[in-house]
Structures are given as C-alpha cells and as structure tokens.
Amino acid sequence: MSRHRWELAVEMLIEWVIRLCGISAIIFVFGIFYFVFREGAGLLFSGRFSLAQFFTNIEWYPTSQSHVRYGGLALIVGTFSVTVLAMVIAVPFGLCAAIFVSEFCGPRLRETLKIIIELLAAIPSVVWGFVGLTLMNSVIISLFDTPIGLNVLNGGIILALMSVPIIVSIGEDALKAVPDTYREAALALGATRWQMVYRVLLPAAKNGLLAAVLLGVGRAVGETMAVLMATGHSVRIPTSALDPVRTLTATIAAELGESSVGSDHYQVLFIVGILLFSITFVVNLSADLIVRGIRGKA
C-alpha cells in the first residue's frame, strides 16, 4: 500500500506552490507600491519637485515650457469635494437600505433586493461615466439652467450610485452580525422595530456600519473612469456644486497617455499615484481594524 516516493515529492511541491500563492496578495500589494514608487521616485527626490508646493499650490502646469508647476491642491480638493458630495448622498441611502434589507423585509424581497444591489455594483465604471456624460449631463443642464452639466454635482451623484451597493452589502453584514438575542430581548420588552433598530441595533453595529461607510469612501476616492467623464475638465477649486473639477484619479487617466515614459510629467503622475495608494491604503486599513475590533470583542 505504500505510495511512490515521487508522489510524495509532488505533494510537497504542490504545498509549496499553495504557500507561494497564499502570500501572493502580500507580494502584489508590495509590488504595486514598489513599482509605482520606483517610477515616481526620480522626480520626488530631485530638486524640481516640492511636496509643500504639491499640497498647497493650486497651479497644475506639468507640461508648461517656462512655468512648470506641480501644485496638486486643486486636484486634492477636487477629489475631496466629489467624494464628500457622494457620501452625503450615499450614506443615508446606503444605511437605510441596509437596515431595510436586514430588518424590515421578508426573505423573498430581501433576496430580490440583494440581487439588484449586486447588479448595481456590477455596472462598469465607464458605463457610469457615460451615463454621467449623457443622461445626468442633460438632466443637470435643464434643472439648474447651466451651460454644461459636467461638474461636482454630476460626479457626486454618479459616485454615490456606485458607492451605495458597497455600503449596503457591508452594512447589512454588520447588522447581521448583531446576535438575534438582542433583537428578541428588545422586542420582548415592547419596543417597536424602529425603537429596536435605533436603540439597540445601531449602537451594537456602529463599528461595522462605520467600516461600510469607509469602504464606500475608498471606492469613491479611487474611482477613475466615472469621474473622468462626468466631472468636467478644469483644475480649480470649486466654489459650488455646479463647478467643474478634476480629481487625482482623472488627472492620471487624462494625462498619462500624453506624457513620455520617464519624463518629469510622467513621474509626477506616479507621485499622484503614490498619494492615491496611500489614501486608499489608510482607508481600507482603518475599515479592517474597525471590523476586527468588533470581532475581537465578540
């Protein structure tokens, strides 16, 4: 009944391959950071680029012959404004929908809604961008009587629609994680469902819901095609929701094709990439820590 020696050797090999694949995620995350950093490092550490200027100056003239400026403030504010608007819309919708799906609806409706959420999440970002460019654009023009409808509002609404599915599904998970005994105890004491949700569930699930919101923020900050197509194309600090802006992601997408590999312009776009990577890394890390926090206690 003894097996061949080579069979055992093959098995050992397979186990090593499995281990290697297991740590592939770590390798890739480091790889991403390394290669993005590598391409941007040349300019980052040369005298021609200053971080202080990048974070405080609004002049973004990366291709100018005589007046090169790498002021990223307008881009950062652009990303920030669109993200904030998106969250203002998406968070109440997302959380309410999560509460409804998890607490107020029957199993059949729940399954249907979850499928719809899944499909909503599956719509490609370029299609969202296209919707922003066409449908939302004309809606905004006719509603607000502006000459062009590609602006913070447009991008914010599109991003909100894109972030809602994440907030709903993660939020629902967080609510599901609250033990049923809590619900039963509250209802047994004569609370209505709303009281139960408001006084018992929300406090109990607040970490998970916060994580859901953070992941929504992560998605909004990192989204590229939709904001590239829907927010208009001007590097400036917006004064109202009807001003066009340009985000960090859109800047890379719009300019990388025109820059030649290795040039200062090319490198500064990688520096923007490092910034984006860092932002989303911090956001995802904190979301994860918050979620693990609950598990640690439970």
Partner 1 sequence: MATKKIEVTDLRIAYGAHEALKGASFDVYANEVLAIIGPAQSGKTSLLKALNRTLEFTAGAKAFGTVKLDGEDVSQIKNVSELRRRIGMVAPLPVGLPMTIYDNVAFAPRMAGMRGKEQLDELVEHCLRHAALWEEVKDRMDMLGTKLSGGQQQRLTIARALSHNPEVLCLDEFSIAIDPVTTMRIEEVLKELRSQLTIIMVTNLTQQAHRLADRTMFLWAGEIIELDRTDVIFSDKCANRKTYEYVNGIFG
Partner 2 sequence: MSSMTGPSSQKPSAHFIKTDFVRKKERRELMAQAIFFVMAVLMIVPLVLIVSYLVYKALPILSLEFLFKVPTRGMRDGGIWPALLGTVYLVLISLVVATPIGVLAAVYLNEYARESWFTRIVNLAVVNLAGVPSIVHALFGLGAFVVFAGMGRSILAASLTLAIMTLPVIIASTKESLASVPRSFREACWNVGATRWQTIRHVVLPNSISGILTGVILQVSRSAGETAPIMFTGAVFYKAIQQGDVFAYGLLDQCMALSMHLFTLSTQVPDVPEALPYGTAVVLLVTVLSVNALSIIFRVYLRSHRKW
Under rule CB under 8 A, which residues in 200-239 are in contact with partner 2? 215, 218-219, 221-225, 229
Task: For residue 216, give every residue at least 6 positions away whose Cβ sits within 8 Å of its Cβ, in sequence order, or none.
Answer: 87, 90, 91, 94, 163, 164, 166, 167
Min separation Cβ 37 and partner 2, Å: 9
> What tokens were used for 267?
């490198």
Three-class secondary structure of residue 34 per DSSP: helix
Restricted to residues 3-42, the positions that interact with partner 1 (CB under 8 A) are 3-4, 7
- Residue 67 CB, shortest distance to partner 2, in Å, is 26
Say what angle helices 202-222 and 152-176 make with each other, to 10 degrees.
Answer: 140
Distances (CA, A) of 213 to 34, 35, 98: 29, 30, 12
203 Cα distance to chain centroid: 25
Closest CA to 238 of 152, 298, 168: 152
3-state secondary structure of 69: strand
Q: How far is the CB of 13 from partner 1 (least distance, A)?
A: 17
Least distance from partner 1 to the Cβ atom of residue 297, Å: 19
140 interface partner picked from partner 2, partner 1, none, CB below 5 to 8 A per type:
none
Residue 271 binding: pick among partner 1, partner 2, none (C-beta 5-8 Å cut-off by kind):
none
Q: What stretches of the chain show up as alpha helix (H) in DSSP?
A: 5-22, 24-44, 51-56, 73-99, 107-122, 125-131, 137-144, 152-176, 180-188, 193-195, 202-222, 225-230, 248-255, 264-297
* Token pair 């550490």: residue: 45
**Distance of closest approach, residue 249 Cβ to partner 1, in angstroms:** 41
Q: Is the dihedral of CA 181, 182, 187, 188 positive or negative?
A: positive
Q: Which is nearer to partner 1, 4 or 108 (CB)?
A: 4
Choices 1-9, 25-33, 102-110, 135-143; region in contact with partner 1 by CB under 8 A? 1-9
Residue 10 vs 115, nearer CB to partner 1: 10
Q: Which is nearer to partner 2, 207 or 224 (CB)?
A: 224
Binds partner 2 (CB under 8 A): choice among 131, 201, 213, 290: 131
Q: Which of 1, 18, 52, 188 binds partner 1 (CB under 8 A)?
A: 1
Under the binding rule (CB under 8 A), the answer on residue 143 touching partner 2 is: no
39 binds partner 2 (CB under 8 A): yes
Residue from 108, 147, 296, 298 touching partner 2 (CB under 8 A): that is 108
Q: How far is the CB of 141 from partner 2 (least distance, A)?
A: 16
Size of the site for partner 1 (CB under 8 A): 5
Helix/strand/coil for 128: helix
Which residue lies nearer to partner 2 by CB, 119 or 240?
119
Phi and psi for 61 in degrees, rounded to 5? Answer: -125, 70
Count of alpha carbons within 13 angstroms of residue 30, beta-carbon side: 5
Length of the chain: 298
* Closer CB to partner 1, 12 or 115, in the complex: 12
**Segment interacting with partner 2, rule: CB under 8 A, options 44-52, 54-62, 63-71, 284-292:** 284-292
Q: Which is nearer to partner 2, 74 or 197 (CB)?
A: 197
What residue ranges bind partner 1 (CB under 8 A)?
A: 1-4, 7
